[in-house]
Structure 1
Amino acid sequence: MLKLALIAVYIVLCVFSKHSVSAENNITFDVSDIKKASVEGSLFLLLPIPKQGVPLNSNFFLSDNKVPIKASFKALNTWPTIKNEQFIRLLSIEVSALQPSAKALTLNWEGADTALSVQQINAIESNVSQLVYPSKPWLVQSILLHPYKAVDSDWYTEPQKKYAHYFTNQALLTKKGYPAHKAAQWLYDRPQAIYQLYLMSGEKEWLTKANELADFYINNIDESGMFMLKKNFDPKYLMPKGLLYRYLLTGDVEAIKALKRIYERSLDWDESYTLRRGFWTERNQAAALNVAVSYWEVSNDEAALRRINDIIDATVAMTFNPGNDWSLRGCPQHSFKSHEGWGDDTPACSPWMMALLGDALWRFYQLTGDVRAASLIDAFGDFVLNYGIYYGNARVKNIVIPKYIVSINNPKQEELNQWTDPQHACDVGALLGKSAYIKQKNNRDNFLVKTLFNALLEQCAGNYTRLKKAQNSKRKANHWVLKPPRRFGWMYSTTSDLPWLKSQLLNDY
């Protein structure tokens, strides 16, 4: 019955992601704290625009307190599409030096018969372009794709800031035994996590620090797309989101060049699985999908879209039509030995690595409403609920804990650790939230998945309780240490949706 139910979900599920933006064809953005002129005698303003917000066929008008300003406009990037309709994603506005008294500019647009030319920003412009946007929700929607709604995120961002003060301070990291050249500390895209902290907090210091981290990563990607701190090819060191955000927030074409190189290198990962191939994990599948989606986002490259489809189709086959006479479970089944390097050839899946893969699928779903991506996320939530959890004892307050790996037919191979496994409460919780949201969008029962989401969310939010207690202490630490450093990446890179998901799913809690 489970097999029939999951296959039915995959066949009939059809989810369309709609993100509303302002119905008015004008916005006003603050320019009070930006430089009013560049060394070239012109000012380049960089405006990210939400999905389906402004058609490429548009005429623009800029004004300061209703006084027209002469300006030229370039579409630097358009939203990726599998249809013919094009919308601007990144707009460059070139003006001569503004008056020192200028506080806010208003941008109006109207439909046009001809499309604005699309021209990637050049290196000179990217050095002097300055980010503008009308509101934080507008910017978050443009980059993170969260719907246009302000939500309470302090419980998520305030503890993250404590950790970020540590993870953006290389002197502190080096003192703890993690010099910059130590490759493993960069796993799970630290630049992405810091960019997301900037987007969610609005505090510009995090944009500066994220740019510094992104620069380090770009400078360590060689011409073949390899991360130079790692001697051998390893897909999980291909971390594209920080590069994507770097470009969308600064117009830096070096980020695009690096992204293209790692995309081309990521093609070395074979997305299909058979017992004969050996090593396979959801983590590497997620890395390959993330790279392909990120590159497609900025290039609209048809080959990248084919790569995305190949990876999703391979994952669908593993999940809904597993080979080797394995029973359907709702996860991308592969052998325990292929995942861990030891053990037998019975099937296994890893909840926390499924969270990485689920987040890559979620990004593509947000961009396209893809039914396959939605179906996989839906099924992944059920798998974690039915097979992927256990309970700690009284020493850890009997909490529900996500398993590190599920050995489906041979549970003796599982190594349950109630002290370390809770480190994945945030990321696995985010996967459950995404699954519950998709069920809710399709008027399907999500009560149990949502309940488990809430339980893991409470654990994830425990750091905020710790922060509140620390604020009442006489000894207030500027930063918090987290070990190993890669933990910061998996806690925050795939979980920026958590405050929004909480607002959507837990109103009754």
Structure 2
Amino acid sequence: MRYPPSPTLLALAAMLAFTLPGCNEELRATTDTTSSDGGTPLNDSELDPDSDAFRYDTDGYEGRVVVTLHPQQAVSTDTGTGVVFAVPFPQGWLTDADSVSLHDNQGEIPIRTRAIGHWWDPDTGEPSSIRSVRVSLNARFSSRESLTLELRWGGPRDKELGTGIEAASTWIPITESGVDEAEYTTAEIMEPAVYATLPAAWLSKTTLRTRTVPVDQWSESEWFDEALLGYSRTMVNDVSDAVSEGDLVNYEPDTWADTGSVDTSSWLFDRASTLWGVYFRTGDVKWLRHAHRASQYYALNIERDNDTNPSDSSDRNFRGQFRFKDVDYPDHKYSYGLPMLLDRLVAGAPEAGPSRAEDAVRAVSDLITDGYWEGTYGDSAAYNPGLASNHLWTERHQAYAFSAHLTAWEYTGDAAYRDKLDDYVAQMVDHVANPPGGYAADGCLVHDFKHHEWNKYNDTPTPVCSPWMTALLAEPLWRYYRLTQDRRALGLLADFSESVAEHGTYIAQDESSDVGTSSGLWDARLPQYLYSSEYNGVDEGVSDPWGDWEHTCDVSGLLYRGVVAGRLLERDMSRERVVADEMMASCRTNLDNWRRPGNDSYLAQNGPEWRLTPTRKYNWWFGTTLDLPWLHDLQH
């Protein structure tokens, strides 16, 4: 393999400082660094502190965690029921699935276990530890009340289940669940007859996507957590009966073939993975159920050479394409492998079955690989000109291309995906340091406006970057770093944060320049729609304060993530910390703005209390910001 051992932190910091110059020197000169700890170096141990709540040394075991079983309506009481569930583990905590045992208040329970996911050594490609273990048992429920058990690992297992249980045999159609039975109707969605939940604190430790904190356990997070849960209920139509049908989220077509009747954008920016994040932060079976169902439904709607289900066009053969997006060319920004990976690691989804999860994950990567997206921006952009006329290249496309290969590597351990990731990172490092077209090195992925908005500025070279699209890219880059310890990713994240802080934000003013009198919007720090050192979106009339306000939460995540990355590289990120805090305050006012409480008459006329217009913003508000409270807390 071509992945050398990581150099020392100081050597890398020096190297990155040379190859990826910061773009914040002027602003730093005016920053009072004593007002912030953004200049204090971090080390990796501060990202993952040991947790005494889950690791202990007693009775010969290394640790334990509570597992709660939730039988659904289809489960018969007082008879044996086969149960299969999965438990994800933090990196390096479990190497032997046979050391896992299950206990109730009367003692050990016979089980069988199998590793169904691994943490991969980024240099050798070999499994380094178990990422998820599937547990099967026979349970007897005296009622449909939840049952609490204790899972232990690193010790003896004295009782073995005699006969194995296939996960698929323990699943039921959602029409038999007794809970939200009509959530999906155009495909038969299967789910566990018995769901198993884990504590939110445990789910945080497993870094399935990133570190998190349990809802309401961050001292300043009440406003963000309340908004997360409120808008999440709107996204799954758990709203007042007074809300009219026309104001519900239309995330499913009326019939299988009628894709035009669905609000496709409700799936844009990865609806299913955003719902997984709500479960990770709450540990609530309600959100586990919604996330699993969304993942299964989404997987069924990923094209597999037009052979999975009747397709709306006989000449479409775009493997990996999301079928709701009825277009004449593949649009991979709707295609994600992450929902299927999370369903596997957290719900123990079987390899076979209608969703064919591994094939779906590979299909999404194939969509990018098969000539559509090359990962490199050039004079003609990376968009294949043979497929359409508009030669798009944006940080959003880059984000989902990178994430597709990252997820495929996480799922399979296939070295080919690891090679793609290495190439992408190298290309981005070079792009930031040496922007194509002779543009200034602004610390972001500078590209021409005509490759971002193809019908604008076609004849005039204009360098731009997008803060909110870069936020989409920062999330998988952060995940990639946590999986590989490749500090080139830290350099990119720190540069992105420095770039946005220096050139990519502004203070909103109303038309009369009467700052601070009309709305929570005025006098707020907002991200530019597009920016560079040579282009100001506000001056050009491209940035709209009301629209830019909508991206304050995700850009806060980008800024904080870059601050953490910079501190790991011993950079002074004081200015970026201040800008991140100001952007976070704007995030709060924006989330508050869209909450419109009222009586039944008001809701019937205006829609849900927690309004989502358009629906896709739910996924950018709360998708890449899953760790926003944790990132904020790490700074304060």
Name the SS of the counterpart of 1:47 in structure 2.
strand
Aligned letter for 2:348? Answer: G
Aligned letter for 1:330? Answer: G
Name the SS of the counterpart of 1:436 in structure 2.
helix
Partner of 2:18: 8
Point out the structure with max Rg over C-alpha. Answer: 2
RMSD (CA atoms): 3.5
Q: 2:225 aligns with which of 157, 166, 170?
A: 157
The Cα offsets for residues 286-324 of structure 1, whole Å up to 9 and x where unpaired, read as 010111111211111111111112222221111112232
Aligned letter for 1:249? Answer: V
Name the SS of the counterpart of 1:160 in structure 2.
helix
Aligned letter for 2:440? Answer: S
Partner of 1:135: 199
Partner of 2:175: none
Superposed, 1:96-107 pairs within 5 Å as 96-98=138-140, 100=142, 103-107=148-152
The Cα offsets for residues 254-304 of structure 1, whole Å up to 9 and x where unpaired, read as 333322211211223111111123421000000101111112111111111
CA distance in 2, matches of 1:193, 1:242: 9
Name the SS of the counterpart of 2:438 in structure 1.
coil
- Greater share of residues in helix: 1
Q: 2:323 aligns with which of 215, 220, 228?
A: 228
Of residues 256-265 and 471-480 in structure 1, the stretch that sits farther from structure 2 once superposed is: 471-480
Shift of 1:478: 5.8
Matched, 1:303 2:413: no
Superposed, 1:64-463 pairs within 5 Å as 64-65=104-105, 67-82=107-122, 83=124, 84=126, 86-98=128-140, 100=142, 103-110=148-155, 123-124=168-169, 128=192, 130-132=194-196, 135-142=199-206, 143-146=208-211, 151-152=218-219, 153-169=221-237, 174-175=246-247, 178=250, 180=252, 181-223=262-304, 224-230=319-325, 231=327, 232-252=329-349, 253=351, 254=355, 255-267=357-369, 268-277=372-381, 278-341=391-454, 342-343=456-457, 344-393=460-509, 394=515, 395=518, 396-411=521-536, 413=540, 415-462=542-589
Partner of 1:115: none
CA distance in 1, matches of 2:267, 2:543: 26
Change (3 A) 1:448 1:318: same
Q: Contact (CA 8 Å) 1:166, 1:172: kept in 2 or not?
A: no
Aligned letter for 2:63? Answer: N
Name the SS of the counterpart of 1:86 in structure 2.
strand
Unaligned runs of 5+ in 2: 1-13, 23-40, 57-61, 158-163, 172-190, 253-261, 305-318, 382-390, 510-514
Name the SS of the counterpart of 1:75 in structure 2.
strand
CA distance in 2, matches of 1:261, 1:196: 23
The Cα offsets for residues 336-387 of structure 1, whole Å up to 9 and x where unpaired, read as 1111112122321111111111112111112222211111000000000111
The Cα offsets for residues 72-95 of structure 1, whole Å up to 9 and x where unpaired, read as 211111123224462111111222
CA distance in 2, matches of 1:111, 1:16: 32
CA distance in 2, matches of 1:418, 1:334: 23
Name the SS of the counterpart of 2:114 in structure 1.
strand
The Cα offsets for residues 132-167 of structure 1, whole Å up to 9 and x where unpaired, read as 465211113322331688535432231122222222
Name the SS of the counterpart of 1:297 in structure 2.
helix
The Cα offsets for residues 397-450 of structure 1, whole Å up to 9 and x where unpaired, read as 321111011154344655121221111100111000001112233443221101
CA distance in 2, matches of 1:250, 1:236: 25
Change (3 A) 1:376 1:15: farther
CA distance in 2, matches of 1:422, 1:389: 11
Aligned letter for 1:258? Answer: A
Aligned letter for 1:489? Answer: N
Q: Contact (CA 8 Å) 2:55, 2:64: kept in 1 or not?
A: no
Of residues 408-417 and 64-73 in structure 1, the stretch that sits farther from structure 2 once superposed is: 408-417
CA distance in 2, matches of 1:379, 1:312: 14
Partner of 2:6: none
Aligned letter for 1:225? Answer: G
Shift of 1:326: 2.0
Change (3 A) 1:120 1:192: farther
Aligned letter for 1:59? Answer: S
Aligned letter for 1:81? Answer: D
Q: Contact (CA 8 Å) 2:394, 2:469: kept in 1 or not?
A: yes
Shift of 1:456: 1.0
CA distance in 2, matches of 1:275, 1:414: 26
Partner of 1:482: 612
Q: Contact (CA 8 Å) 2:497, 2:563: kept in 1 or not?
A: yes
Count the aligned residue pairs: 497
The Cα offsets for residues 100-158 of structure 1, whole Å up to 9 and x where unpaired, read as 4964234232499xxxxxx9975335654755465211113322331688535432231
Change (3 A) 1:226 1:103: closer
Q: Contact (CA 8 Å) 1:46, 1:130: kept in 2 or not?
A: no
Of residues 292-301 and 36-45 in structure 1, the stretch that sits farther from structure 2 once superposed is: 36-45
Change (3 A) 1:438 1:160: same
Of all paired residues, the percent bearing the same amino acid is 24
Partner of 2:27: none
Q: Contact (CA 8 Å) 2:97, 2:133: kept in 1 or not?
A: no
Change (3 A) 1:472 1:450: farther
Q: Contact (CA 8 Å) 1:56, 1:86: kept in 2 or not?
A: no
Q: Contact (CA 8 Å) 1:74, 1:91: kept in 2 or not?
A: yes
Q: Contact (CA 8 Å) 1:6, 1:320: kept in 2 or not?
A: no
Partner of 1:495: 625
Change (3 A) 1:85 1:265: closer
